[in-house]
Amino acid sequence: MTRPHHLTSTPLVVVAGWLTDAGHEARVEGLLDDAAEVEISGITLSSQRVHPGDLYAALPGTRVHGIDFAATAVVGGAVALLTDENGAARRPDGVPAVVVDRPRAVLGLLAAHLYGEPATSMRMIGVTGTQGKTTTTRLAEAGLQAAGTCAAVVGTVGTRIAGDDVRTSLTTPEAPDLHGLFAVMRERGVEVCAMEVSSHALVMGRVDGVVFDLAVFLNLGRDHLDFHSDVEDYYRAKASLFTPDRARRALINIDDEHGRRLADEVRIPVRTFSMRDVSADWLAIDVALEREGSTFTIVGPDGVRVPAGVSLPGGFNVANALAAVASAAEVGFDAGAVARGIAASGGVPGRLERVDAGQDFLLVVDYAHKPDAVEAAIAALRPLTSGKVIVVLGAGGDRDPGKRPIMAGIAARLADLLVVTDDNPRTEDPATIRAAMLAGTHNGPGGDVVEIGDRRAAIEHAISVAVTGDVVLVAGKGHETGQEIQGVVHDFDDRVVARETLERGR
């Protein structure tokens, strides 16, 4: 993970004092008389990515404890540990430790302090929602950059800092990595950062130590029920972003039922946006949906009225672009300049991304892998053709199994042909996953359904039956470049496979 070039060191006793000052019971073990010489310059959760001078966070896990890897971290350059009582009892000889009851809960606080509160040096926009986070943040970044603002974005398809890509492994990186990224952004003169904030990140404290200037809520549907107990628990996790400890102001989509609820419940200043409710503070009007994208007009507070456009099809992408412009404006940037930048920008990787090899039908790859997203993607594409809508769709293993029949049922109902295939089966039997999906396609009217387990063959079949004017949607993986089967990630990119198939002449 990227680290800033310029670091300052802090004595371990001072690091422990930060925790005490914040109300945490903390003690330091293992310091010798030369304690002042134990200086901390960084923090990490990974024993494999330690930098000299790091504080290694040895956290309790579901299967193993991070203290088991402490010796490796020390060899890599860690000079002290952050751990709990269990870890402290097993720390390597001669290695000091800061001991707290819940070390994960203090990671954000420590990382922010160690890197000099870098998030306060820029305007921070946090975007949450079941779908649209990546598109909204990427559009905001593109619009801001085009308007001459040095911007950064953090999310599912990685991090971009001032136009340069930085690979990250999580939608929202763990707190130590996240604050390190912010410190790099500060070094590079970033003025505003738009980042995705997942429910996992909120529950697990990955954004601790950050107070967003603006928190944005897009929508909420069924997702991550392998992690959350139910949709209400999922909503509560999202809603925790919209509290004074995490955000100063809110921008909320009131076209979504959970958004309307949230707007009534939050206790921070709220602005709203909508595609249809004229009472909203930010509104998209005069919307024209086209095959290549959409044009519309944005109406906002204080007489704002600007022409806008987005090069992605579908009404939901108009809503995403509206959120991007409104969020930039809410943190102090010119709405017109950002809107012009978005209109002139390209698409977003794996989000209704066109694959064009001169064929006479539209082929797009999209990340849709949850019920609401599948429905939105097909609904966006249906008006673009008088022919067939053909959908290739699988479901991931070791994730919420309850959504499989729901998602496939929606696709079967809305498409003319659904090809049920594999996605990332992970440790599950792919045939069992497909059977669960197929079970959801048997209720009510719908298009034809075929099962082709091999994902490449499924994509090839969908392309082979498409004729002039049809739309082919390959859904589920989007920007992903691998397929995980029994712990092994195989190279697989829907966009590459689709293009190869097209170029072979179908």
SS3 for 11-39, per residue?
EHHHHHHHHHHCCCCCEEECCCCCHHHCE
98: pLDDT confidence band, cut at 50, 70 and 90? very high
- Which residue do the tokens 């095959």 mark? 291
pTM of the model: 0.90
% of the chain at pLDDT higher than 70 = 97
496: pLDDT confidence band, cut at 50, 70 and 90? very high
Helix H, strand E, coil C: the string for 302-334 is: HHCEEEEEECCCCHHHHHHHHHHHHHHHHCCCC
Q: Is 21 exposed, middle or buried (0-12, 13-18, 19+ CB in 10 A)?
A: exposed
- State how beta strands 214-217 and 123-128 pair: parallel
Q: What is the mean pLDDT of residues 437-451?
A: 89
State how far the Cα of 362 lies from the Cα of 472, in Å rounded to an integer: 6
Identify the CA nearest to 372 among candidates 197, 196, 222, 236.
Answer: 222
- Tell me the pLDDT tens digit for each residue of 3-41: 888 889 999 999 999 999 999 999 999 987 654 579 999
For the cut 60, the answer to whether the pLDDT of residue 147 exceeds it is: yes
For the cut 80, the answer to whether the pLDDT of residue 460 exceeds it is: yes
Q: What is the mean pLDDT of residues 389-399?
A: 96
Angle at alpha carbon of residue 288, lines to 272 and 499, rounded to 5°: 105
Sequence ranges of the chain with CATH classification 3.40.1190.10: 118-344
pLDDT higher for 347 or 66? 66
State how far the Cα of 216 lies from the Cα of 136, in Å rounded to an integer: 10
Beta-carbon contacts of 252 under 8 Å, excluding residues fewer than 6 positions away, are: 216, 217, 242, 259, 262, 263, 266, 270, 271, 272, 273
- Using alpha carbons, list the distances in angstroms from residue 373 to 13, 133, 197, 340: 49, 12, 18, 27
Asked if residues 138 and 325 have their Cβ atoms less than 8 Å apart, the reply is no
Q: What is the mean pLDDT of residues 60-76?
A: 95
Amino acid at 448: D
Amino acid at 1: M
Beta-carbon contacts of 463 under 8 Å, excluding residues fewer than 6 positions away, are: 363, 472, 498, 501, 502, 506
Residue 291's pLDDT is 83
pLDDT higher for 505 or 477? 477
Element (H, E) at 179: helix 175-187
2: pLDDT confidence band, cut at 50, 70 and 90? confident
Residue 219's pLDDT is 95
Sequence ranges of the chain with CATH classification 3.90.190.20: 353-503
Q: May I ask the CATH architecture of the domain 118-344?
A: 3-Layer(aba) Sandwich (3.40)
Element (H, E) at 187: helix 175-187
For the cut 70, the answer to whether the pLDDT of residue 348 exceeds it is: yes
Element (H, E) at 488: strand 488-491
State how far the Cα of 268 lies from the Cα of 91, in Å rounded to an integer: 43
228: pLDDT confidence band, cut at 50, 70 and 90? low
Asked if residues 254 and 263 have their Cβ atoms less than 8 Å apart, the reply is yes
CA torsion through residues 187, 189, 191, 192, sign: negative
Produce one character per residue of 451-465: b if its CB has 16 or more CB atoms within 10 Å, e if not. ebeebbebbbbbbeb
Tell the CATH topology of 353-503. Answer: Protein-Tyrosine Phosphatase; Chain A (3.90.190)
Beta bridge partners of 389: 471
The chain-wide mean pLDDT, for the chain, equals: 94
Q: What is the mean pLDDT of residues 405-432?
A: 96
Residue 225's pLDDT is 61
The class (CATH top level) of 10-114 is: alpha beta
Q: What is the mean pLDDT of residues 236-259?
A: 97
- Tell me the pLDDT tens digit for each residue of 248-286: 999 999 999 999 999 999 999 999 999 999 999 999 999
- Which residue do the tokens 């209704």 mark? 352
Beta bridge partners of 27: 99
Residue 222's pLDDT is 62
Residue 375's pLDDT is 94
Residue 346's pLDDT is 84
For the cut 90, the answer to whether the pLDDT of residue 361 exceeds it is: yes
Helices (H), 79-132: 85-89, 107-114
Sequence ranges of the chain with CATH classification 3.40.1390.10: 10-114
Q: What is the mean pLDDT of residues 409-418?
A: 96
Amino acid at 420: V
For the cut 70, the answer to whether the pLDDT of residue 226 exceeds it is: no
State how far the Cα of 104 lies from the Cα of 405, in Å rounded to an integer: 36
Residue 442's pLDDT is 87
Q: What is the mean pLDDT of residues 353-379?
A: 93
